[in-house]
Structure 1
Amino acid sequence: MSKQINKQPTSQKTTTANEKAPKAIASTWKKILHYCREYTVPFVASVVFSIIGTILMLIGPDKLSEITDLIADGFMRGIDLKAVQKIGITLLVIYAISFVLSSLKGWIMSTVTQRISKKMRRDISTKINRLPMGYFHHTTSGDILSRVTNDVDTLSQSLNQSIGNLLSSLVLFFGSLVMMIWTNGLMTLAVLAATGLGFVFIIIIMKHSQKYFKQQQAHLGTLNGQIEEIYGGQIIVKAYNAEEDEERTFKKMNEQLRVSAFKANALSSLMMPIMAFISNFSYVVVCVVGATLVLNGHINYGVIVAFMVYVRYFTQPLGQIAQAIQMLQSAAAAGNRVFEFLEAEEMPVETDRALKLNDTKGLVEFEHVQFGYTPDKVIIKDFSAEAKPGQKVSIVGPTGAGKTTLVNLLMKFYDIQKGDIKIDGVSIKDMTREEVHNQFCMVLQDTWLFEGTIRENLIYSGENVSDETMIEACKAVGLDHFIRTLPDGYDTVLDAKTNLSQGQKQQLTIARAMIDNKPMLILDEATSSVDTHTELQIQKAMDDLTVGRTSFVIAHRLSTIKNSDLILVLKDGDIIETGTHDELLSQNGFYAELYNSQFE
């Protein structure tokens, strides 16, 4: 694959990408600066401290030049120790103030960047709740986690270490240049000629390294997604002996990350050695040119001493500027991924949908519903049905018929494209998602438990739940005895050390739904992971739970829905049969075929 890519002509495409790259970087940094606008005052204070501290440093070489000249002249007429002492104290005060200001700058930048990281992670957390479900179907969890952790950390560290250093380095660079010109123009020209080569190399390196920093962040997100996916499915990987296949996939992704990271860091790491060489070469130039000028009587020895320090002040910032720009490039790449997430299309705002259901009866009507996850692929074509209050409605059909999609639409996880869904005559389009969710308790086929106590998992997001209610729900699903055998009972922490079977996890989620006690109920193959004996116990609890509640049951095991008030048979997004279990069997149609196939 890589060989084919390398052989492709890249002239026009690369040119276009290179033209867009600076604009993209500028756009990203504009967003970053706008995002940090509330911290303008501390940023400005940090800049002021940095500038003042750097200017004070630039005064030092001039004072050193004075001391050198006093000592050199003193060999002939005697050294003026009081003058030397006065200049020495002045230097000590100057460097002490510069140190304090530099420390303040560092403290301010560290504090501000940590607050920016906190704000950014908080905004990402808020953003997650506003994104449509479709976003998570197209983006891996690992990639999202990488943006929350790696990209935010990279951006924070780059802001902390680059902006302050870049500003102080620029001030030091141009300040030392001004001081050198003021001290001696001829030696300044010699230093500029020696360091000019460094500028050329820095510009070339910066031009080529940015694209690799972007690739590095993207490859890191992809790799994290693959790792998160495999760690979560280790049992399946081992069961299918797919370790070698997954290892090859990991190695391929890891190699992509290694190559992009190597190219980015290898190019950027060239800056410091180049600048070290230029700096050393500049010292040689200063010594040679300075010695010639001293012998000819054009300058004093103090000028050479001052220039030795100025050369360090002039060339050192070049390396620091190059390093800061490298970090800014890395920050731009990370920031682009973060803002790409923060700017993702959100679910429609629902401030105009204020209708609430105070006493829900449970009448649910589907009116000519049409939906597809993508516009070109319609899954639900023309679905119409009615669930009367208190009815147990089962939805059956082959895989891909649209059963789970109907539940997603009913819960308003997705907005329907045509038609309408009404609860007690009120369209869910006129209700907020939170209000729709408040009407249903839900048990899914895939269990979800977080690391916390059993009690916390059972009363998840609930308020004022009594122990009696919790215990009764666990007794109803046959879980109370098992919980009491655990070391801490209901306060046992569910983590890697607590070994729960899949069936027990399912029982916990069902008990959670019973405690939630919402007006209506959705069961998506809720008993698929339990044994026959436990299933009968849970089924009885479910029958008790569904009394007086409109219930929607998605089932593949048709024997569990015999007592349903209404069975909807779906195929290719349409209802092809409706009725009770006995009525559908007597029709000897598609439902009867599905039912009998389970016993063949």
Structure 2
Amino acid sequence: MIKKRLIKLLSHAKKYIVYQVLFQWLALLCQVLIVAKIAGIIKDLFEKNLDIPGTRGAAIIILAAVAARFVCDYLSGKASFGASADVKQILRVKIHEKLLRLGASYREKISSAELVQMSVEGVEQLEIYFGKYLSQFIYSMIAPITLFVILFPVNAPASLVLLVCVPLIPAAIVAVQKIAKRLLSKYWGIYTQLGDSFLENLQGLTTLKIYEADGEKSRAMDEESERFRRITMKVLTMQLNSISVMDIVAYGGAALGMIVALFQFAGGGVDLKGVIMIILLASEFFIPLRLLGSFFHIAMNGMAASDKIFDFLDLPEPKQGGKRLPKRAFDISLEQVSFGYQEERLILQDVSMEIPSGSFVSVVGLSGSGKSTIAGILMGRNRGFKGKIHFGDISLKEIEEESLMEQVTLVKHDSYLFGGTIRENLLLGNPKATEKEMERVLWQVNLLGFVQEQKGLDTILLESGSNLSGGQRQRLSLARALLHDSPVYIFDEATSNIDMESEALIMKVIYSLAKTKTVFMISHRLANVTGSDCIYMLKDGRVSECGTHEELMGQGKAYAKLFMEQKALEEYGLREGGNLRESK
């Protein structure tokens, strides 16, 4: 069971495998020497020809051989560790490099949960394959031949019997492999599915609790866990049965060789020293293959994991452009852009927009109209679009992703804050930012006072910034974006799900930013976009209206209707809130 592509990919680790086999083979020669000297001493003792000086010399040789074998075993283990460490590093670098080449659109190809499982558990499974299995596979072929060459002059019939029985173990392994391959492929599929479900339920635990749906999801997880338990039990049963078969073959073959040697000894075909050597070394014919069998099942699991890894490494990569955007303002245009995750359901259809340099352009529309999809396309996250998109005179498909990220900053309603300090999160926006610059952007978003009341820039943030309020998290994300200082800013529902005070403050910063930068804003709340230079109204994935706020209100169509509905709802909410306070 040798996977050529895997060996080729990890060719650097082959030297460690060679070292392992060499040291194992030298350890075997030491074992043969030890057995030969012990057999000689027993023969001399039995025949009363024991020579004290000769025995002392044999004892010294035995001790030296034991020490040499210990050193060889140690060096073999060290080489095994080297192979394992090398493999894990190389594979994870390959996965990371592939992920970088896939870029921001990687989620279109693979789920995050599957990627994590493959990078962690899948790579760990291959540690045994390279660290133990491959060297044992080669050594298992060499050891019986070496022993046969040594023992054949001692007694040919017994040596031949032992050698002939050896291939029975590989035959058993091959038979098991056919069953195991299908079983382990199914095992990894169920394992990945369970991981996906667990991660999804963990991320949505609060929502499940709110709607009291955690019990139902728990039952579903129990069912998936039970399926995983059953497939795991099948794998373990297969492993135990195959080990039993290999034990019968190994011990049966060794016993048969010993019986032949004893018959040869009784018939005078071999002397006492020879028969003792054959008896003591008979198991050495089979032990390497027996160990190979014990590594085989873990190696098979690793092979199934490698299939997943290679499927990922073989994913088609988006064509990376080599052009860089200029470090200055530029126009953005969308011409007849269509996009859909499924061919039969288009999210965007023939969308055309113009975002002039230095302008403030907004996109509005009902939920599901395709607003956020446009942001994903402009940031290179949704690659399979049709139509033309240009940044200046450069097509989006020709732009180097790194350059796109440098020149365009995306601020979402759920921009991620990492566990650590406020300083560390701000430095993501600009690693060269000074403390004064960080304090300036915190002042702009009205967070400086709060931060100074804590531990300053070294204030600790929990995972996702969960020790901050929703408004504080969003304002900190905005401060980080301001530090990035790019020519173009895209705000995707940046004021969603936060308090009115934070929303007003963020909109003030956005309008201020629009005086010097190109701002493209996606908003569900039309009151926030009234000062835009141009507003695009999306309906069912198409641009239904466009113009300034005044022009769209004058047309009296969908935009004007939605604006008035939202305004009436907001006024009603304020009126009811005031009445509630008065009644108290």
Q: What is the TM-score when the length of structure 2 is the normalising length?
A: 0.89
Identical columns (%):
26
Spell out the pairing of 1:487-498 with structure 2 (5 A cutoff).
488-495=455-462
Deviates more, 1:571-580 or 1:420-429: 420-429
Is contact 2:190–2:227 with CA below 8 Å preserved after alignment? yes
Amino acid at match of 1:492: T
| Aligned residues: CA RMSD | 2.7
Deviations 1:328-387 (A, max 9, x none): 322211211122222222221323x35x31332x43222233333345543332222222
Is contact 1:443–1:526 with CA below 8 Å preserved after alignment? yes
Spell out the pairing of 1:354-503 with structure 2 (5 A cutoff).
354=324, 356-360=325-329, 362-415=330-383, 417-486=385-454, 488-495=455-462, 499-503=467-471
1:43 aligns with 2:17: yes
Deviations 1:98-123 (A, max 9, x none): 33223212212211320221122122
List runs of 5+ in structure 2 lacking aligned partners. Answer: 570-584
Shift of 1:153: 0.9
Amino acid at match of 1:110: F
1:233 aligns with 2:192: no
1:53 to 27, 51, 63: 27
Deviates more, 1:409-418 or 1:431-440: 409-418
**Counterpart-to-counterpart distance in 2, 1:46 and 1:132:** 39
**Counterpart-to-counterpart distance in 1, 2:105 and 2:343:** 13
Alpha carbons of 1:201 and 1:49: their partners in 2 closer, same or farther (altered >3 Å)?
Answer: closer
Is contact 1:206–1:268 with CA below 8 Å preserved after alignment? no
Is contact 1:65–1:302 with CA below 8 Å preserved after alignment? yes
**Counterpart-to-counterpart distance in 2, 1:278 and 1:34:** 33
Deviates more, 1:308-317 or 1:206-215: 206-215
Deviations 1:534-579 (A, max 9, x none): 2222221221122122211111111211222211011122211112
Is contact 2:161–2:257 with CA below 8 Å preserved after alignment? yes
Spell out the pairing of 1:160-175 with structure 2 (5 A cutoff).
160-175=131-146
Deviations 1:308-331 (A, max 9, x none): 212221232231121233333222
Residue 513 of structure 1 corresponds to 481
- In structure 1, the residue corresponding to 2:461 is in which secondary structure? coil
Alpha carbons of 1:159 and 1:513: their partners in 2 closer, same or farther (altered >3 Å)?
Answer: same
Alpha carbons of 1:588 and 1:124: their partners in 2 closer, same or farther (altered >3 Å)?
Answer: same
Residue 68 of structure 1 corresponds to 42
Alpha carbons of 1:275 and 1:85: their partners in 2 closer, same or farther (altered >3 Å)?
Answer: farther
**Counterpart-to-counterpart distance in 1, 2:438 and 2:556:** 44
**Counterpart-to-counterpart distance in 2, 1:100 and 1:118:** 27
Shift of 1:130: 1.5
Is contact 1:585–1:591 with CA below 8 Å preserved after alignment? yes
Amino acid at match of 1:413: R
Deviations 1:216-252 (A, max 9, x none): 3333222222222222222112112122222222222
1:525 aligns with 2:493: yes
Residue 228 of structure 2 corresponds to 257
Amino acid at match of 1:490: L
Shift of 1:199: 5.8
**Counterpart-to-counterpart distance in 2, 1:202 and 1:363:** 65
Deviations 1:413-436 (A, max 9, x none): 334644322334443344322223
Shift of 1:137: 3.7
Amino acid at match of 1:31: R
- In structure 1, the residue corresponding to 2:387 is in which secondary structure? strand
- In structure 2, the residue corresponding to 1:183 is in which secondary structure? coil
Alpha carbons of 1:538 and 1:132: their partners in 2 closer, same or farther (altered >3 Å)?
Answer: closer
Residue 331 of structure 1 corresponds to 302
Residue 526 of structure 2 corresponds to 558
Amino acid at match of 1:451: G
Amino acid at match of 2:135: G
**Counterpart-to-counterpart distance in 1, 2:346 and 2:137:** 54
Residue 83 of structure 1 corresponds to 54
1:126 to 97, 102, 110: 97
Spell out the pairing of 1:128-207 with structure 2 (5 A cutoff).
128-188=99-159, 201-207=172-178
**Counterpart-to-counterpart distance in 2, 1:384 and 1:293:** 93
Deviations 1:42-68 (A, max 9, x none): 433333333233233234433333222
Shift of 1:278: 4.7
Is contact 1:279–1:311 with CA below 8 Å preserved after alignment? no
Deviates more, 1:443-452 or 1:377-386: 377-386
Is contact 2:148–2:163 with CA below 8 Å preserved after alignment? no
**Counterpart-to-counterpart distance in 2, 1:466 and 1:347:** 36
**Counterpart-to-counterpart distance in 2, 1:203 and 1:517:** 61
Is contact 1:158–1:330 with CA below 8 Å preserved after alignment? no
Is contact 1:459–1:516 with CA below 8 Å preserved after alignment? no
Q: What is the TM-score when the length of structure 1 is the normalising length?
A: 0.87
Amino acid at match of 2:193: T
**Counterpart-to-counterpart distance in 2, 1:192 and 1:566:** 85
List runs of 5+ in structure 1 lacking aligned partners. Answer: 1-24
Count of residues in correspondence between the two structures = 567
Amino acid at match of 1:560: N
**Counterpart-to-counterpart distance in 2, 1:528 and 1:196:** 69
